[in-house]
Amino acid sequence: MAFGHGVTSSNRPKVKTLGALVFNVPSPQSSGIAFAGRVAPLIQEALSFMIPLEIFQQIRRIQIRTRRSVESIFAGGYHSVFKGRGMEFAEIREYVPGDDVRDIDWNATARRGQPYVKRQVEERELTVMLLVDLSASGRFGSVTRVKAEIAVEMCAVLALSAITNNDKVGLILFSDKIERFVRPQRGKNRVLRVIRELLTASPSGRGTDVALALQTLHRVSRQPTVSFIISDFLTESYEKSLGLVAQRHDVIPICISDRREYQLPDAGLVTLEDFESGEWITLDTHDASVRERYAAIRRNQDTCRQRLFTSLGLDSIEVRTDEPYDRPLMQFFQRREQRLRDGR
């Protein structure tokens, strides 16, 4: 096993899991959803999508938490940094002062005896694919939230941003096998579908195979996409597949980590479990050299991964379970916008 690969103390209290996620959700009785009034439309809407009401409530809470981020920060940045496939003709009209002279259509001008300009608009035909790691290490979190919970909310932000711009959204859920593939579609209900699939997922695999997810994307998406890969990337042998997919698609890796994967506490003898392999190991965390080796292994993993991303020209996003994810997302958009302004 690799140090930091979904580890947890053996004496940590067990929690109820829902698929790959860990949640503490109030019961229908305690939340008052059985009463009439303003909750009745919620029940009706849940039934219309054939979604269990408890899951539908979670979806709505996630939408509420993420909507402000989309509207106030990301929607505008999203539109400016993710362009469509090109420009398409819109119309030819008379030249008016202020028009760019480079847009003058000289053929139309010659025929009609006065200046005419050709107007073009961006072809916004864009597909956003979300490749989400459902491996067992996503259940790990040493503070208040686990990695998989962060992944769900980030998917909601990205899907809402895409739908706001009338783009298609698709989903590939993977572990060490492909768990689910949802074909890209437009429409506001697509966000509900994405979050529902994540919340109700019950992965049959425990491990992580990023290469398999990338190969699946390459096979099912013949046209270029904007593809976010959301994972802790605690796996190997995906370099070749990533390089191949990056030639066709705009690939953005989102790496989710937890602080305990970098720093063990000085707690004496601690038994750790690798969530993906099921292996156990006992470490003397009172020994400073053990703690340093543990941290060094994870730092080396990060360095190698970042070197790979840089060599392929990929913009990656680093997210921690104990920090807000909106800041690294905003920084990503800012970097992209700056590069576009600089013509890079």
Residue 63 CA to residue 153 CA, distance in Å, equals: 8
What fold does the segment set 17-80+126-341 form as a domain?
A: Rossmann fold (3.40.50)
Confidence band, pLDDT 50/70/90 cuts, at residue 51: low
Q: How far apart are the first and last CA of the chain?
A: 41
Mean pLDDT of 58-79: 66
Residue 163 CA to residue 112 CA, distance in Å, equals: 42
48, with CB counted inside 10 A (0-12, 13-18, 19+), is: exposed
User: For the residues of 85-99, what is the DSSP string, one character each?
Assistant: SEEEEEEEEE--TTS
CA 339, chain centre distance (Å)? 21
The pLDDT value recorded for residue 193 is: 86
The residue behind tokens 């947890």 is 8
Contact 270, 240 (CB under 8 A): no
- Return the ∠ at Cα 66 (arms to 336 and 27), rounded to 5°: 150
Q: Is the four-CA dihedral 63, 64, 66, 70 of positive or negative sign?
A: positive
The pLDDT value recorded for residue 72 is: 57
CA 118, chain centre distance (Å)? 38
3 state SS of 273: strand
Confidence band, pLDDT 50/70/90 cuts, at residue 280: very high
> For the segment 202-211, what is each residue's pLDDT rounded down to a tens digit?
999 999 999 9
The pLDDT value recorded for residue 123 is: 58
Residue 133 CA to residue 124 CA, distance in Å, equals: 28
pTM to 2 decimal places: 0.73
Contact 65, 325 (CB under 8 A): no
Longest CA pairwise span in the chain (Å): 88
- pLDDT for 122 beyond 70: no
List the domain boundaries for the chain.
17-80+126-341, 87-123
> For the segment 244-274, what is each residue's pLDDT rounded down to a tens digit?
999 999 999 999 999 998 889 999 998 888 8
Confidence band, pLDDT 50/70/90 cuts, at residue 124: low
Nearest to 94 by CA among 102, 86, 104: 104
Residue 244 CA to residue 63 CA, distance in Å, equals: 34
